[in-house]
Chains A and B, each alone.
Chain A
Amino acid sequence: MKRLLLVNLSLVLVVLFTTSCEKAEEELSFDQTLIIGKWKSGTLFERYDSDKSGATWDTADDVTEAEGQEFTWTIEIDQLEQIHIIENGGLVPKVYTLTILTASTLAYEDDFGSVKTFSKQ
């Protein structure tokens, strides 16, 4: 009896979680040319160049644009992918979901709910 109850409960959960794992989301697409330029969020700056390179720096840490750390970027639909380059070797990917990309505003969030909003400089 106890085994049967467990099997039934499992089936219920399978149904529930199977559906949950394949949940379809509504995807937005953005004009990636809008991202070209320098963006500011407080003291944090990001610059996206047309050659798909970019740099980021934070003036709060006394870093200038010329000293900004480089990355490459791509946008696929609403996914902004930054590949940050470690000088000694090694790459650090960061993937964000774009929520706003206009001529003046850039906003994205990552999988852990961290949101950043930039204004165009």
Chain B
Amino acid sequence: MRVLKKIGIGLLGILSVVLLGTTIAVWYIFTPEKLTPIVNEQANEYISCQTNIEKVEPTFFSTFPFFGLELTNVSLIEDTNLNKPDTLLNSAKCLVSFDVIGFLLDDNITLKTFIIEDGMLNFKIDATGHSNLDILIDNSDSTDTDTSAFAFGKIDIKNVEFKNFNAKYTDESTLTRADIENLNANIEIIYDKQKQYINLDMQLKKMLYTTSDSMALYLDVNDCDIKINSNAKDENLFNSNLKFICESMSGSMEGDTLLSKIKFDTYIPIDINLAENSYDLSKMKLIVNDEQEISLSGNITMEGDSIYTDLNYATNAMDVEKVVALIPNAYKEYLEGLTAKGFAQISGSVKGLYYDTLMPLMNTNIEYEKGEIKYEDYPRVKDIKLSMSTILDMNNTQSSGVIINSSYAKIMRSSVSLKGDITNILNIPAYDIYSDGDFNLDDFKPYIPKDQNVLIRGMLKGNIHTQFSQSDIDNEAYHRIYLKGKFRTKNFYAVYDDSMKVDLPFADIKLLLPTSSRVSKDLKLANITIAAPNMDLEMYPTMKAVTKDLELSVEINNMIKGVSAPITYCEYKVSNLYATYDTLAVTANNADGHLKYAPELKEKKEIAIINSTINSQDLSVSSKDNVMFDAKKLYAKTNVIYDESQSNVIDQWNPELAISFSDANYNVSEQLKGQITGMKYTLTPDDMEIEKLDLTIADSDYKLSGKLSNISNYLNDKGLLKGDFDLVSKNTNIYQLMDIFDGLGSEDSTIATIEADSAEDDPFMVPMGIEFHLNTSIDKTIVNQNIIENIKGGLTVKDGTLVLDQMGFTNKAAHMQLTAMYRSSRKNHLFTAIDFHLLNIDIAELIELIPSVDTLVPMLKSFEGQGEFHLAGETYLKSDYSIKESTIRGAAAFEGQQLTILDTETFGMIARKLQFEKKTVNVIDSLSVEMTLFKDEVDLYPFLIVMDDYKAVISGRHTMDNRFKYHISVTETPLPIRLGLDIGGTMEELDYKVVPCKYKHLYNPKKQGALEERTLRLKKLISESLKENVKPI
């Protein structure tokens, strides 16, 4: 202890001597007066600018144990050779103390004190890049310069302090300016092998930074507080804390304000491992305006060009309205009219390697609550809730996507929620979305364009699940989309353009897009089903439809494939349908059916296959005050394959049609009404068959059946269109039918007039290429008050010719057979022909039945009784149906027995002239008359009348102008002479002339000459040719 005490006393003595020496040196040797000039002089040796130091005062005690210098009013003036040299640096007070011995002996920098008070730095760089801080004069010999790196042994900088320091920075080369005002800072740096420590505490009143280039940057920072504390556990491991608070920061670029008095609070606690180049952030925070807080934690490790990140970040619940307010005005044009509110919290992570093209995996979670969005005049979207997260893997090692955990929004009285995910967003986004909605359609009125006259109201509630990818949309592969939705409407009411109205009090609607990897063969895309207890549709003013218990299923076509119709299948069921169109109304009960439209593409052309069925328990069609048609068990089936590449209409449509109904009543007009007890009809591309048509028209009844065949061949010019029909009737009232058609024709006098006018040049042309046959069997009809029965025969149309073929019928006057022909080879050359046979004819009733017979055979009315009448004739007509007289050909024959000659005035005259003995009843035993019609000539071939003891032969000619040239030869008479009588003139003025007997031996075979033989041969020729076509009765 004594030794130690002595050593201590010794050291204390040495220290006292050193202090005493230093004091003396400071007070007497290093006085300011002596030191100031030396420093100024030496400064000019090393500094190129003008240095003015008012006072240099050494310090010892205030900087103990180091020496220091205190400089007062220091100023550095730029090169005085410049035109306007400016102050480079000045300071009211500058105090510096450091360990000179340590620096000189050990290369240690120990800066004990460095204080600048009220300083100002004016830092400039001219346009050529020269800085005014290049003031150090290089006095060293370059050959002696140690080019080795300057190495510090130890750095110990303490008490470095700036007080009220201002600075100006002007860079004319980059057109940059900066002003710093009132900077106060304390800096402490310790660096040696055992300890590394940095502490910075800086306050800045104001900093203004501007550029005058095209960027026009402007940054105004006020009241900043920066604290940096870094403490190394060893030379590689630093625990650092950085705090940056700026009360107000404003900035702009190119005149656009980017920041406006924003407050930033930043805390960065970080552990730095220099050896591993690793940075651990424990909880970094960035707080904006004391409200928006972003925190970041994790690790960043750099290795070469690689950066490995494992970071987590999170925000507080940020006020969206205030965040939006932070968005620079320059970028707010996209948000114009949009206001957003609510609180959003974002968190996430960045994890992985950043290198070259590699990017770390980024996760983001967003929670948005109490949200509100308002855009222009649209209704406010409120109560927005959103919980979603995103995964972003730029390396594509896993799918990047968005997961919407939940979302909800409300628009007025409507609400919608949505959840799902969007995967693979960096390549081909795939969507899997669930959505629920409860809509009051009134709320969507503002979204309807004002130029659209649309009114929608009602409630719609439902949900949708959909799955599709972006490529499905981009490539219009809508068949790949899956969508399933269910909706329920209440009090749905929509009006479009004040004319189209839909009233749907209640309906369940289902929508399904089933998804398919390939376009379905039938191009089906979606299915919609509607179940509506009541529905009211109206297309004012023409159409209206009311349904009850409607069940409708509609398949929607894939329109993108160029198909022409949107619907591929429609199935419906309705308990009651009431529809009106103009003045017509249709009512159907318990109806169902379907419509199928199945288009196919054949060589890129659409082949449309259309199938439909209609079933209705009963159906009626009504006019304003009349039920025009009603039927039961209506069934209609239609199959059509439409191929527009085909040339004719049947091949284009390939129709298959089947219609049947029963117990029908129709009442089209007062005359046209009746019943259709049954109807069954089918149509195929090649055949049309009426299996059954039982109807009555007024007092007439018909059963029609038959088949039209070879349709396809006919349309392809490969064959005749063939038809074979049977018409059976128990009773046909021809006059009623004529009244009906007359009535129909007279309903529109304009049409009737046009038809009459046009008939002259537009006669009926019988279609070519048709072979059509109608077999008729009518039990009874009435013509001219004559009952005609058993009408049997056929109507044939064949290749331009219409034939009424051997139509047979009977009445009390005769059994009749009629064959008539009409052929239209060209418009002004129309052929008509008739072959008419009256068997067992009653002459008087025949004339009553066919009045024109009297014109053809005028003497027939002079007889009474029964006989046979045969008539054949033909003529051609002009286009106005007038007769071409030169083409008239005709032949007629009448045979009768026991006929009575009526006592007419003409007969009386003839009897007187020929000395007939008239009786009360003059009976002719037999009569066989043949006549021909050639052009305007009616030739009556000689015929014999046998009456009691008299025989007479009559022959002659009369012409169409009713001029007569007749001759009567009395071949047998009780009288000794046989006279002849020529009768000429007109019927009104007959001329009688007694002449010699002309046909004396006509019926006397023994005395017949060539003339008589020829006459009889021709008569036989005429008669037999006429009878050839007579069918057995």
Q: Are A88 and B884 in contact (CB under 8 A)?
A: no
Q: Which of B854-879 contact A (CB under 8 A)?
A: 870, 872-874, 876, 878
| Cα distance, A57 to B1021, chains bound together (Å) | 24
Complex A-B: 5 CB contacts under 8 Å: A21-B998, A67-B825, A86-B835, A87-B831, A112-B957
**Selected contact of B835 from candidates A11, A69, A89, CB within 8 Å:** A89
Residues of B near A83 (CB, < 8 A) are: 1021
Convert A57-88 into 0s and 1s, putting 1 for each residue whose CB lies closer than 8 angstroms to a CB of B: 11011110001010000000001010110111
Residues of A near B885 (CB, < 8 A) are: 61
Dominant SS at the A interface?
Answer: mixed
| Cα distance, A69 to B887, chains bound together (Å) | 7
**Selected contact of B1021 from candidates A10, A79, A91, CB within 8 Å:** A91
For residue A13, CB closer than 8 A to chain B, the reply is yes
Q: Are B976 and A93 in contact (CB under 8 A)?
A: no
Q: Are B891 and A44 in contact (CB under 8 A)?
A: no
| Cα distance, A61 to B933, chains bound together (Å) | 18
| Cα distance, A44 to B884, chains bound together (Å) | 13
Convert A15-45 into 0s and 1s, putting 1 for each residue whose CB lies closer than 8 angstroms to a CB of B: 0111011100000000000000000000010
Convert B243-285 into 0s and 1s, putting 1 for each residue whose CB lies closer than 8 angstroms to a CB of A: 0000000000000000000000000000000000000000000
| Cα distance, A7 to B1000, chains bound together (Å) | 20
Convert B800-841 into 0s and 1s, putting 1 for each residue whose CB lies closer than 8 angstroms to a CB of A: 000000000000000000011100010011010111000000
By beta carbon, the residue of chain A nearest B1015 is A95
**Selected contact of A93 from candidates B833, B890, B1022, CB within 8 Å:** B1022
| Cα distance, A36 to B1018, chains bound together (Å) | 24
For residue A4, CB closer than 8 A to chain B, the reply is no
For residue B437, CB closer than 8 A to chain A, the reply is no
| Cα distance, A90 to B869, chains bound together (Å) | 13
Q: Are B975 and A10 in contact (CB under 8 A)?
A: yes
Q: Are A84 and B934 in contact (CB under 8 A)?
A: yes
Shortest CB–CB separation between residue A105 and chain B, in angstroms? 21
| Cα distance, A16 to B828, chains bound together (Å) | 55
For residue B395, CB closer than 8 A to chain A, the reply is no
Residues of A near B870 (CB, < 8 A) are: 90
Binds A, one of B408-416, B684-692, B1023-1031: B1023-1031
Convert B120-132 into 0s and 1s, putting 1 for each residue whose CB lies closer than 8 angstroms to a CB of A: 0000000000000
| Cα distance, A87 to B876, chains bound together (Å) | 12
Q: Are A16 and B1029 in contact (CB under 8 A)?
A: no
Q: Are A91 and B891 in contact (CB under 8 A)?
A: yes
| Cα distance, A87 to B980, chains bound together (Å) | 37
For residue B965, CB closer than 8 A to chain A, the reply is yes
For residue A52, CB closer than 8 A to chain B, the reply is no
Shortest CB–CB separation between residue A9 and chain B, in angstroms? 8
Shortest CB–CB separation between residue B929 and chain A, in angstroms? 15
For residue A14, CB closer than 8 A to chain B, the reply is yes
For residue B513, CB closer than 8 A to chain A, the reply is no
Q: Are B1018 and A88 in contact (CB under 8 A)?
A: no
Residues of B near A94 (CB, < 8 A) are: 932, 934
Q: Are A87 and B833 in contact (CB under 8 A)?
A: yes
For residue B978, CB closer than 8 A to chain A, the reply is yes
**Selected contact of A89 from candidates B932, B975, B1021, B1026, CB within 8 Å:** B1026
For residue B996, CB closer than 8 A to chain A, the reply is yes
| Cα distance, A92 to B1019, chains bound together (Å) | 10
Residues of B near A81 (CB, < 8 A) are: 1014
**Selected contact of B976 from candidates A10, A16, A22, A67, CB within 8 Å:** A10
User: Assuming the A-B contacts A13-B979, A88-B872, A89-B1029, are A21 and B997 also in contact, with contact meaning beta carbons closer than 8 angstroms in the complex?
Assistant: yes
User: Assuming the A-B contacts A11-B976, A16-B996, A17-B978, are A90 and B884 also in contact, with contact meaning beta carbons closer than 8 angstroms in the complex?
Assistant: no
| Cα distance, A104 to B1021, chains bound together (Å) | 32
By beta carbon, the residue of chain B nearest A17 is B996
Residues of B near A61 (CB, < 8 A) are: 876, 878, 884-887
User: Assuming the A-B contacts A11-B976, A14-B978, A17-B977, are A90 and B876 also in contact, with contact meaning beta carbons closer than 8 angstroms in the complex?
Assistant: no
Q: Are B829 and A86 in contact (CB under 8 A)?
A: no
| Cα distance, A86 to B834, chains bound together (Å) | 9
| Cα distance, A17 to B979, chains bound together (Å) | 8
Residues of B near A18 (CB, < 8 A) are: 1000
Residues of A near B828 (CB, < 8 A) are: 62
**Selected contact of A86 from candidates B884, B889, B957, CB within 8 Å:** B889
Which 7 A-B pairs have CB atoms at the shortest separation, nearest pair first? Answer: A90-B872, A58-B886, A10-B976, A61-B884, A20-B996, A88-B835, A17-B996
Q: Which of B597-629 contact A (CB under 8 A)?
A: none
Residues of A near B1000 (CB, < 8 A) are: 18, 21-22
Q: Are B829 and A67 in contact (CB under 8 A)?
A: yes
By beta carbon, the residue of chain A nearest B980 is A17
Q: Are B874 and A86 in contact (CB under 8 A)?
A: yes
Q: Are A86 and B890 in contact (CB under 8 A)?
A: yes
Shortest CB–CB separation between residue A3 and chain B, in angstroms? 11
Q: Are B1025 and A89 in contact (CB under 8 A)?
A: yes
| Cα distance, A44 to B934, chains bound together (Å) | 14
Residues of B near A44 (CB, < 8 A) are: 886
| Cα distance, A61 to B825, chains bound together (Å) | 15
| Cα distance, A67 to B830, chains bound together (Å) | 11
Shortest CB–CB separation between residue B964 and chain A, in angstroms? 11
By beta carbon, the residue of chain A nearest B832 is A88
Residues of A near B1001 (CB, < 8 A) are: 21
Convert B889-904 into 0s and 1s, putting 1 for each residue whose CB lies closer than 8 angstroms to a CB of A: 1110000000000000
Q: Are A90 and B886 in contact (CB under 8 A)?
A: no
Residues of A near B825 (CB, < 8 A) are: 67
Query: 11 new A-B pairs (CB below 8 Å) besides A21-B998, A88-B821, A88-B833?
Result: A11-B977, A14-B977, A17-B997, A21-B997, A63-B884, A83-B1021, A86-B833, A86-B890, A89-B835, A90-B872, A95-B1018
User: Assuming the A-B contacts A86-B833, A86-B891, A91-B1025, are A60 and B977 also in contact, with contact meaning beta carbons closer than 8 angstroms in the complex?
Assistant: no
Q: Are A60 and B886 in contact (CB under 8 A)?
A: yes
Convert B477-494 into 0s and 1s, putting 1 for each residue whose CB lies closer than 8 angstroms to a CB of A: 000000000000000000
| Cα distance, A67 to B833, chains bound together (Å) | 15
Most buried by B among A22, A58, A61: A61
| Cα distance, A94 to B939, chains bound together (Å) | 9
| Cα distance, A88 to B1026, chains bound together (Å) | 9
**Selected contact of A21 from candidates B933, B934, B996, CB within 8 Å:** B996
Most buried by A among B828, B835, B889, B1025: B889
Residues of B near A86 (CB, < 8 A) are: 833, 835, 872-874, 889-891, 1025
Shortest CB–CB separation between residue A75 and chain B, in angstroms? 13
Q: Are A91 and B1022 in contact (CB under 8 A)?
A: yes
Residues of B near A10 (CB, < 8 A) are: 975-977
**Selected contact of A92 from candidates B833, B933, B978, B997, CB within 8 Å:** B933
Most buried by B among A13, A79, A86: A86
**Selected contact of A90 from candidates B878, B957, B996, B1022, CB within 8 Å:** B1022
Shortest CB–CB separation between residue B1032 and chain A, in angstroms? 16
Shortest CB–CB separation between residue A118 and chain B, in angstroms? 15
| Cα distance, A60 to B829, chains bound together (Å) | 12
Q: Are B1022 and A7 in contact (CB under 8 A)?
A: no
Shortest CB–CB separation between residue B807 and chain A, in angstroms? 13
**Selected contact of A62 from candidates B819, B878, B975, B1028, CB within 8 Å:** B878
Residues of B near A89 (CB, < 8 A) are: 819, 835, 872, 1025-1026, 1028-1029
Residues of B near A69 (CB, < 8 A) are: 874, 887, 889
By beta carbon, the residue of chain A nearest B820 is A88
By beta carbon, the residue of chain B nearest A85 is B889
Q: Are A92 and B1028 in contact (CB under 8 A)?
A: no
By beta carbon, the residue of chain A nearest B883 is A61
Q: Are B965 and A112 in contact (CB under 8 A)?
A: yes
| Cα distance, A77 to B505, chains bound together (Å) | 102
By beta carbon, the residue of chain B nearest A16 is B996
By beta carbon, the residue of chain B nearest A79 is B1014
By beta carbon, the residue of chain A nearest B1019 is A93
Shortest CB–CB separation between residue B398 and chain A, in angstroms? 91
| Cα distance, A13 to B872, chains bound together (Å) | 42
Residues of B near A90 (CB, < 8 A) are: 835, 870, 872-873, 890-891, 1022, 1025-1026
Q: Are B978 and A87 in contact (CB under 8 A)?
A: no
Shortest CB–CB separation between residue B389 and chain A, in angstroms? 94
